[in-house]
Amino acid sequence: MENVIEVKNLKRNYETTVGILKREEKIVQALKGVSFNVKRGEIFGLLGPNGAGKTTTIKILTTLLAPTEGEAMVLGYKSFGEEKKLRHKINFIFGGERSLYWRLSARNNLSYFMDLYGIDEDIKEKRINDLLDLVGLKDKADIKVEAYSKGMKQRLQIARGLVNKPEILFLDEPTIGLDPAGARDLRAIIKKLAKEGTTILLTTHYMQEAEELCDRIGFINGGELVALDTVPNLRKLYDKGSIIHCIVGDLKEACEKEILSIEGVTSVKLKEIDDDKHLYIETQKPHEIISKITYKLKDCNMKGFSIREVTLEDIYLKIVGDKNE
């Protein structure tokens, strides 16, 4: 498949001032040589902690920010240097409730943004109606946006991002702050757009959302791309089977070491939450060893246990790390 985004050794530095009494200039590297491609028609996820470089990458690809070094080609054009040739072919949406005029109706918002793109008057009305229908707001088209719920505003933002029929849509945390029903509706719209041929680059902190939507996922951390593959392939590389989650009121150091010595246990991770201790035990054969684990913990005030498959969140924490540790 054709690559519509090609990023090669992308770097971005910021200058900042540090110190109180003695002020000094400092260079901060937001991106440290990121490289990846996005194929036409796929949903590509860019995941990582706050400050990892996700939004900086999107701003460069959407012509809003110049790279310090490297190359970012979008639809065959340089994102910095040929931005005028590119901007009418792409669009972007940030999470939250920005980029809308609350005093205007949904219909008037879309009409205004179409005027900015120079959309012909003879096709505006039909396109507005089609977009409002797509995002489920046709019956609320003439109500002012200030009366909309957060989910309705975010759906209208999706419509706003489609006014120019972009070949690539950039979504920066599109479901942030939405309730489960609103997030589900938005994911359904994203799937529909991808099925109809729109290429989507998505950032999100919700691992379940990324697993549901993305064809491929890139993990970025500290300005560097640390892993990139499909979800099934990431599972093969980093999946150690299942996780047995045990909650105990007390835990002796010897018990933790004894559990790690059980044949079939690949790792043991301990977290303290409130007054309880949570053990996360990785194993390829959970049902064979669960009795051995519960026996080891018989004097630790066992409060419960569960067995679950490794999720994308577990893989994320393996690759990127747990900031709470």
Q: What is the pLDDT of residues 286-307, one digit of tens each?
A: 989 999 998 888 888 888 989 9
pLDDT tier for residue 324 given thresholds of 50, 70 and 90: very low
Indicate yes or no: pTM above 0.85.
Answer: no
Query: Quick one: pLDDT at residue 80?
Result: 93
Residue 200 and residue 257: Cα distance in Å, rounded? Answer: 46
Question: Are the CB atoms for 214 and 275 separated by under 8 Å?
Answer: no
Among candidates 321, 303, 312, which has minimal Cα distance to 209?
312
For the residues 133-156, what does the mean pLDDT come to?
Answer: 93
- Give the lowest-confidence range in 115-124, 209-218, 263-272, 314-323: 314-323
Tell whether the model's pLDDT for residue 21 goes beyond 80: no
Q: What percent of the chain has pLDDT over 90?
A: 60
Tell whether the model's pLDDT for residue 162 goes beyond 90: yes
Q: Which residues pair with 224 in a beta bridge?
A: 221
What would the DSSP string read from start to end of 2-68?
-EEEEEEEEEEEEEEEE-SSS-EEEEEEEEEEEEEEEETT-EEEEE--TTSSHHHHHHHHTTSS--S
Task: Report helix, strand or coil for 218.
Answer: strand
Instruction: Please count the residues of the chain.
Output: 325
CATH topology assigned to domain 3-236: Rossmann fold (3.40.50)
Handedness of CA 46, 170, 186, 99 (dihedral sign): positive
Pinpoint the residues of the chain covered by CATH 3.40.50.300: 3-236
Query: Quick one: pLDDT at residue 166?
Result: 96
Q: Give the burial string for 290-299 (b: 16+ CB within 10 Å, else e).
A: beebeebbee
Residue 279 and residue 273: Cα distance in Å, rounded? Answer: 11
Two tokens, residue 276: 């309880």
Query: Quick one: pLDDT at residue 83?
Result: 93
Beta carbons within 8 Å of 148's beta carbon, 6+ residues apart: 106, 140, 156
Query: Quick one: pLDDT at residue 313?
Result: 86
* Chosen CATH of 240-309 out of 2.40.100.10, 2.40.50.140, 3.30.70.260, 3.30.930.10: 3.30.70.260
Pinpoint the residues of the chain covered by CATH 3.30.70.260: 240-309
